[in-house]
Amino acid sequence: MFAVDQDLHELTSRHPRKGRCLGPLDATWHLLNLFGPAAGLALIAPALAKLLWRKELGAVRWRRLIGAVFGACAVVTLAGLVIFGQDGKMTTYAAMVVACALALWGAGFVSRSR
């Protein structure tokens, strides 16, 4: 993990080593790892919510819940990256949990009651 952080630091520093650049495969892996926690939470949280509130969330589509959670968590991840200058802070993950709960509540309960 430290090697990846060091490589990323070298790529974004003012004087990176010559000959080092982020290729398309590396950029893909960085993006997948950046949004990995959001994707994982978007798959696990709606499943648990549908299990707990079977009757209440029976009419709500999976795609709606997954999309809402992933969107909210992705926005929080990007906000954490901008605010802290790096991803992976525990504060960002805590904010992702709150955003996930709010997204599930909004997509599953609030939109139905209107």
* Residue-level pLDDT at 13: 56
Q: What's the number of domains the chain is made of? A: 1
**pTM, rounded to two decimals:** 0.77
* Residue-level pLDDT at 111: 65
* Residue-level pLDDT at 58: 87
Per-10-residue mean pLDDT of the chain, 114 residues long, equals: 56 57 88 95 95 90 95 96 92 96 92 58
List Cβ neighbours of 76 (8 Å cut-off, separation of 6 or more).
38, 92, 95, 96, 99
> Other C-beta atoms within 10 Å of 85: how many?
9
Q: Provide the residue range defining the domain that includes 55.
A: 24-110
* Residue-level pLDDT at 77: 96
